[in-house]
Amino acid sequence: MAARRVRSAPYLFIAPAVIAFTLLLAVPIGYAVYLSFREVHITGLGLGPGARSERWAGLANYTSALGDHELLAGAGRVLVYGGLLVPVMLGLALLFALLLDADRTRLRAFSRIAIFLPYAIPGVVATLLWGFLYLPTTSPGYYVLHQLGMSGPQLLQGNGMYVALANIAIWGGTGFNMIVIYTSLRSIPAELYEAARLDGASELQIALRIKIPMVLPSLVLTFFFSLIATLQVFAEPMNLKPLTNGISSTWSPLMKVYRDAFTRGDIYSASATSVVIAFVTLAVSFGFLKLAGRRAYGEDNS
């Protein structure tokens, strides 16, 4: 009797999560896939009841999504943005984590909190703050340059936009990644350093030869999260848009999905595009996890 109770208990415990997951994630995903194979069929002028009906579309939505230049251009923009963002952000995060871990650093607590602080600030607000700092009329940087008789670079136009957007994400994300790497640095046994110091290794050598290899798993983890976040960029360009005409409503692929679904009301092609994005995200994620090897991960997943 007791044994049976123990056997059924875990299923009862996970039931709420499984139900919530099914209703809020699995069903919507299935519905998106279903919609991506449908289209609206219009008879006559499309007026009156029954003139618009839904019908099977086959792969039409997919062929038009994959052949859409705007979508491809958006994917290209996100690649440039990510290529700028991820290395700089993780490089800074690693650097700050190593500096925090260096044994002669002062004001450690203050710096750690200050650099982590942007994590608590919504992306919308971060974009807003930086947006005003990019605007020549409200930015102190431009003011100083102007006093010196120079003009600053236009960050809200052309290629400056990549820097402008990447900087917002770097500002928001460096601290979080720094903490993840730092906690991993703290768990390295101190004897390793003592041995290296006895052998005459400098602090820099210790950092390069011992610390960085030892925190590789957390670098892999932070890289992975940053990659996913990059593919899903939406709030920042969306919120920078009102301040500039340099961002179109299809700047990132997800912005295009939003526009297609809610501005144009074409939920079918929006669904096909979302399925393509989800598929690419999954492929990149699994590919990356395979590449990174099971050494870093396998232990957690068994």
Question: Judged by CB, which is closer to other proteins: 124, or 208?
Answer: 124
Q: What are residue 52's DSSP bridge partners?
A: 42
- In the complex, the smallest distance separating the C-beta of residue 220 from other proteins, rounded to whole angstroms, is 10
C-alpha distances in Å from residue 199, one per residue of 42, 195, 216? 80, 6, 23
2 vs 47, beta carbon nearer other proteins: 2
Nearer to other proteins (CB atom), residue 212 or residue 235: 235
Shortest CA distance to 227 belongs to which of 281, 157, 153, 167?
Answer: 281
By residue count, the chain amounts to 302
Residue whose C-alpha is closest to residue 172's, from 98, 232, 251, 117:
117
- For other proteins, give the closer residue by CB, 37 or 171: 171
Contact yes or no for 130/259 (Cβ under 8 A): no
- Considering the complex, state which of residue 43 and residue 197 has its C-beta at the smaller distance from other proteins: 197
Shortest distance in whole angstroms from residue 187 CB to other proteins: 5
**Cα dihedral sign for 172, 175, 178, 184?**
negative
Cβ 280 to other proteins shortest distance, Å: 9
How many angstroms separate the CA atoms of 264 and 258, rounded?
9
Q: How far apart are CA 60 and CA 24, in angstroms?
A: 27
